[in-house]
Homo-oligomer: A and B are copies of this chain.
Amino acid sequence: MVRWEPGTRERLQAAAMDLYVSRGFERTTVAEIAQAVGLTERTFFRHFADKREVLFGGQELLEQAFVDGVAAAEPDASPLAMVESALSAAAGFFPAERRSHSRQRQTIIAANPALQERELLKMAALAAVVAAALRARGVPEASATLAAESGVTVFGVAFVKWLAEGERRSFLDIEREVLGELVAMAAGAA
């Protein structure tokens, strides 16, 4: 019988990320990660499919938050109001206490082109999921794609701002600011 120790996943993740920062993502082995917390490689693989999943796990949950946010918008909401609702739902994933973890993750990804590509593809996949959720609410094709891509762009810009040194505002406040900038930018061209 395997005894399930609470927090094992979190300990593995913290050890992995420290090693990714200090040794680099490529040069870190699963054996080293496991060893750092006194566990076996086998235990690591019970929690993560591979080294990369330490950084990219949770994508489905984030996607689901966006989808739930679209579904929660008012019946007569505009496509952008649906996206705004999705952004609010996603903000729940980034409380203040997560900021230092997210900064560490960003440092690791910025140092590795393959991880940067993975992050870009993750964002593209997120936009596709949001566009599908908008279409499911009756938004026509081109508008759904435009609104979804705009929402994911706002999310990405807000994320970078939220991570900036000295930034103390909540993720939600920053998302609102960035969405406001997008609206103002588009209005300037009307």
Interface residues, chain A, with chain B CB atoms under 8 Å away: 78-81, 84, 117, 120-121, 124, 142-143, 145-147, 149-150, 153-154, 156-157, 161, 178-179, 181-183, 185-190
Contact = CB atoms under 8 A, between A and B. Distances in A.
Copies of this chain, whole number: 2
15 contacts: A80-B188, A117-B121, A124-B124, A142-B178, A145-B157, A146-B153, A146-B178, A147-B185, A149-B150, A149-B153, A150-B182, A179-B189, A182-B186, A186-B187, A187-B190
A178 to B, nearest CB: 6
A6 B161 CA distance: 51
A121 B113 CA distance: 12
A143 B186 contact: no
Given A145-B157, A181-B146, A81 B120 contact: no
- The A interface is mostly helix, strand or loop, or mixed, namely helix
Given A147-B185, A150-B153, 7 more contacts: A80-B186, A84-B189, A142-B161, A143-B185, A145-B153, A146-B181, A187-B190
A83 to B, nearest CB: 9
A189 B81 contact: yes
A134 B175 CA distance: 22
Given A145-B153, A153-B153, A157-B142, A78 B185 contact: yes
Nearest to A124: B120
Contact of A189 (B157, B178, B183, B188): B183
A75 B183 CA distance: 22
